[in-house]
C-alpha cells in the first residue's frame, strides 16, 4: 500500500504545483512553475521534478529554467530520484533538505473549535509569524508570502483555510486544507500557531477540524509534508500520522 499511496500523493503534489502556477514550462524530468506577481516567493517560482531525469544534467536544467530569478529551488518528488540528484546538486552549490510524507492512519475525531477563515483574518497573524521566521525581510517580501496563500486556491478542487481563534477573537493557529474528492486525497499544509499561543491546544483544534472535513469529503488518503529534521514530525506522529516516503528539496541563493 505505501508504494501506491506515494504514487498517488506525488501525482497530487505535481498537479497542485501546475494548477497553482500562473504558467509553467516543461523541462526534462518535470516542469518550471512561475508566478511573476509573487516573484519573491521561492515556492511559487521553482522547478518540480516528477519523472526520471539525468542527475548530472539537472543543475544545468535548473539554471536555464530559473536564470531570471535571484534564487534556485528544486523539488524532486520521487525519493530515489531525489537521492540520486543530491550529489550533483550539492556540487553545484545547492543545500539539500529531506521532507517526510506522512499519512494519517489514526482515528479521526470530530472537528474541534476551529473554522474556515478567509485570508483577511489570517493577514495580521501570518505577517507577524513570517516576521519571526524572517526578521530581515522587507515589507514587499512579507506581503508576497502572505498573499501567495490566495494563489493556492487554484491548486486543488477544494481549498480551505482553517483557523482557531483565541478568546479575544483573533486567529492564533491556522492551516491550509487541499481536497480532491474525486481521487479521495487531502493534504494539510502549513499548520502554524502564533508563538504566544503555543501549547494551548489551538494546533490540535485546527488539525482535528481539517481531518474531520477531509473525511466528510470522502478523502481516505490524508497526508502532510514535514521537515525530516524538525520537531513537528514527532508531534504529528503522536496524532496518528506515520512516515510512508520522502521528497527532496534543493535550494541555492
The pLDDT of residue 86: 98
- Chain-centre distance for alpha carbon 75: 11
**Which residues, other chains included, contact 100 with Cβ-Cβ below 8 Å and sequence gap of 6+?**
225, 226, 227, 228, 233, 243, 245, 246
pLDDT of residue 242: 97
String of b and e for 12-22 (b: at least 16 CB within 10 Å)?
bbbbbbbbbbe
Q: Determine the topology of domain 115-243 in CATH.
A: Aminopeptidase (3.40.630)
- The CATH 3.40.630.30 portion of the chain extends over 115-243
The x, y and z cell numbers of residue 160, run together, are 480551505
In this structure, the strands spanning 72-76 and 46-49 are parallel
Q: Which residues of the chain have pLDDT under 50?
A: 1
Please tell me the predicted confidence (pLDDT) of residue 1: 46
pLDDT tens column, 79-134: 999 999 999 999 999 999 999 999 999 888 876 789 999 999 999 999 999 999 99
Q: Which pLDDT belongs to residue 109?
A: 81
Amino acid at each position: 500500500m505505501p508504494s501506491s499511496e506515494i504514487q498517488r500523493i506525488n501525482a497530487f503534489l505535481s498537479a497542485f504545483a501546475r494548477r497553482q502556477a500562473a504558467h509553467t514550462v516543461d523541462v526534462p524530468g518535470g516542469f518550471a512553475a512561475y508566478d511573476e506577481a509573487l516573484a519573491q516567493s521561492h515556492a511559487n517560482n521553482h522547478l518540480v521534478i516528477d519523472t526520471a531525469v539525468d542527475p548530472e544534467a539537472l543543475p544545468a536544467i535548473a539554471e536555464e529554467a530559473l536564470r531570471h530569478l535571484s534564487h534556485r529551488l528544486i523539488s524532486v518528488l520521487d525519493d530515489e530520484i531525489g537521492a540520486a540528484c543530491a550529489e550533483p546538486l550539492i556540487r553545484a552549490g545547492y543545500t539539500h533538505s529531506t521532507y517526510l510524507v506522512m499519512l494519517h492512519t489514526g482515528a479521526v475525531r470530530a472537528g474541534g473549535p476551529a473554522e474556515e477563515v478567509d485570508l483577511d483574518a489570517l493577514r495580521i497573524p501570518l505577517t507577524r509569524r513570517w516576521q519571526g521566521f524572517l526578521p530581515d525581510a522587507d515589507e514587499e517580501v512579507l506581503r508576497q508570502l502572505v498573499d501567495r496563500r490566495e494563489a493556492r486556491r487554484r491548486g486543488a478542487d477544494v481549498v480551505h483555510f482553517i483557523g482557531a481563534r483565541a478568546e479575544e477573537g483573533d486567529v492564533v493557529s491556522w492551516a491550509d486544507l487541499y481536497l480532491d474528492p474525486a481521487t479521495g486525497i487531502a493534504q494539510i499544509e502549513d499548520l502554524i500557531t502564533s508563538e504566544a499561543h503555543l501549547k494551548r491546544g489551538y494546533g490540535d483544534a485546527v488539525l482535528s477540524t481539517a481531518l474531520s472535513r477531509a473525511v466528510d469529503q470522502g478523502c481516505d488518503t490524508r497526508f502532510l509534508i514535514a521537515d525530516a529534521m524538525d520537531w513537528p514530525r514527532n508531534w504529528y506522529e503522536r496524532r496518528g500520522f506515520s512516515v510512508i516516503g520522502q521528497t527532496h528539496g534543493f535550494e541555492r541563493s
